[in-house]
Structure 1
Amino acid sequence: MGLAERRRSLGYSQEGLAHALGVDRTTIGRWESGKTVPQPSLRPELAAALQLDLAELDAMLAPPRTAEEPANAPSSDHYGPGSADDMIRREFLRVIAVTGALTTVPTDEAEELVESLRRASSQDFLRMNSHLWQVYQLARAKGSVYPVVRDQLASLNDAFSGHSRPEFQAMCAAAGDLLQLAGELSFDSNRYTEAATSYTLAASASRDAGAYDLWACALVRHAYIDVHERRYQEATHTLSAARNVARRGDHSLSTRHWVAAVQAEAYAGLGDLRACERALDTAEEVLGLASPGHNSGWLRFDGSRLSEERGARYVQLGRLDLAEQALQDALSQAVLAQGQSYRRRATVLTDLAAIGAKRSDADQVITYGREALQLAHQSGSGYVARKLLGLRTAISPMTRDSRIADLTADITALATT
Structure 2
Amino acid sequence: MTRRRGLAGQRVARGYSQEEFATLMGVATSTVVRWESGRSAPRPYQRPKMARLLGLSRADLDKLLSPVKTVTVASGSTPVPASFSDPGDMRRRDLLGLLTTTSALLALPEVPAAAYPGRFSTTAPQAEEALADHLWRVYGLAGDKHTLYPAVRRQLGVLAEEMDHACGDTVRKRAATRVADLYQLAGELFFDARDNALSAHCYALAASAAKEARAYDLWACALTRHAYVELYAGRAPWAASLLSAAARVARRGDSALSTRHWVSAVQAEVHASLGDFDACARALDAAEEVRALNGPVHNGGWLRFDGSRLAEERGACYVALGRPDLAEDVLTSALTRALGPRRRAAVLVDLATLGAHRGDVDQVIHYAEEALAVAGQTRSGYVSAKLDGLGPRLAGLSADVRVPDLRRRIAALPHTT
* Pairwise TM-score range, normalised by the shorter structure: 0.7 to 0.9
Residue equivalent to 2:403: 404
Structure 1 residues 401 and 352, CA, compared in 2 at 3 Å: closer, same or farther?
Answer: same
Q: Which residue type is aligned with residue 223 of structure 1?
A: A
Q: 2:135 aligns with which of 121, 132, 135?
A: 132
Residue 144 (structure 1) aligned with residue 147 (structure 2): yes
Q: 1:120 aligns with which of 111, 117, 123?
A: 123
Residue equivalent to 2:174: 170
Residue equivalent to 2:380: 381
Identity %: 48
Residue equivalent to 2:25: none
Residue equivalent to 1:153: 156
Q: Is the 8 A contact 1:125 1:156 kept in 2?
A: no
Secondary structure of 1:259's match? helix
Residue 20 (structure 1) aligned with residue 26 (structure 2): no
Residue equivalent to 1:370: 369
Structure 1 residues 224 and 351, CA, compared in 2 at 3 Å: closer, same or farther?
Answer: same
Answer with 1 or 2: which has the greater Rg. 2
Residue equivalent to 1:288: 292
Q: Is the 8 A contact 2:269 2:280 kept in 1?
A: yes
Residue 307 (structure 1) aligned with residue 322 (structure 2): no
TM-score (norm 1): 0.73
Distance 2:407 2:100 in 1: 45
Residue equivalent to 2:390: 391
Residue equivalent to 1:196: 200
- Kindly provide the CA deviation profile for residues 114-157 of structure 1, in whole angstroms up to 9, marking residues without a partner as x: xxxx9534432221111000111111111110111011000011
Q: Which residue type is aligned with residue 355 of structure 1?
A: L
Secondary structure of 2:412's match? helix
Gapped regions of structure 2 (runs ≥ 5):
1-7, 22-30, 41-98, 108-120
Q: Which residue type is aligned with residue 293 of structure 2?
A: L
Residue equivalent to 1:361: 360
CA drift of 1:89 comes to 4.9
Residue equivalent to 2:105: 90
Distance 1:304 1:16 in 2: 42
CA drift of 1:406 comes to 2.1
Structure 1 residues 416 and 246, CA, compared in 2 at 3 Å: closer, same or farther?
Answer: closer
Distance 1:322 1:350 in 2: 16
CA drift of 1:329 comes to 1.6
CA drift of 1:250 comes to 0.2
- Kindly provide the CA deviation profile for residues 247-283 of structure 1, in whole angstroms up to 9, marking residues without a partner as x: 0000110000000001001111111100000000000
Structure 1 residues 169 and 177, CA, compared in 2 at 3 Å: closer, same or farther?
Answer: same
Residue equivalent to 2:220: 216
Structure 1 residues 296 and 144, CA, compared in 2 at 3 Å: closer, same or farther?
Answer: same
Q: Which residue type is aligned with residue 386 of structure 2?
A: K
Secondary structure of 2:413's match? helix
Structure 1 residues 85 and 264, CA, compared in 2 at 3 Å: closer, same or farther?
Answer: farther
Residue equivalent to 2:335: 331
Structure 1 residues 389 and 170, CA, compared in 2 at 3 Å: closer, same or farther?
Answer: same
Distance 1:85 1:242 in 2: 24
Q: 2:253 aligns with which of 231, 241, 249?
A: 249
TM-score (norm 2): 0.73
Q: Which residue type is aligned with residue 358 of structure 1?
A: H
Does 401-410 or 284-293 show the bigger shift? 401-410
Residue 33 (structure 1) aligned with residue 39 (structure 2): yes
Structure 1 residues 145 and 316, CA, compared in 2 at 3 Å: closer, same or farther?
Answer: same
Q: Is the 8 A contact 1:14 1:29 kept in 2?
A: no
CA drift of 1:231 comes to 1.3
Distance 1:285 1:259 in 2: 12
- Kindly provide the CA deviation profile for residues 53-95 of structure 1, in whole angstroms up to 9, marking residues without a partner as x: xxxxxxxxxxxxxxxxxxxxxxxxxxxxxxx999635179xxx
- Kindly provide the CA deviation profile for residues 204-229 of structure 1, in whole angstroms up to 9, marking residues without a partner as x: 11011110000000000111111112
Structure 1 residues 128 and 27, CA, compared in 2 at 3 Å: closer, same or farther?
Answer: farther
Secondary structure of 1:159's match? helix
How many residue pairs match? The answer is 326
Secondary structure of 1:356's match? helix
**Could you say what the CA RMSD is over the residues aligned between the two structures, in angstroms?**
2.7
Q: Is the 8 A contact 1:188 1:382 kept in 2?
A: yes
Gapped regions of structure 1 (runs ≥ 5):
1-12, 35-83, 93-117
Q: Is the 8 A contact 2:194 2:415 kept in 1?
A: no
Q: Which residue type is aligned with residue 178 of structure 2?
A: A
Distance 1:167 1:203 in 2: 18
Q: Is the 8 A contact 2:106 2:176 kept in 1?
A: no
CA drift of 1:176 comes to 0.3
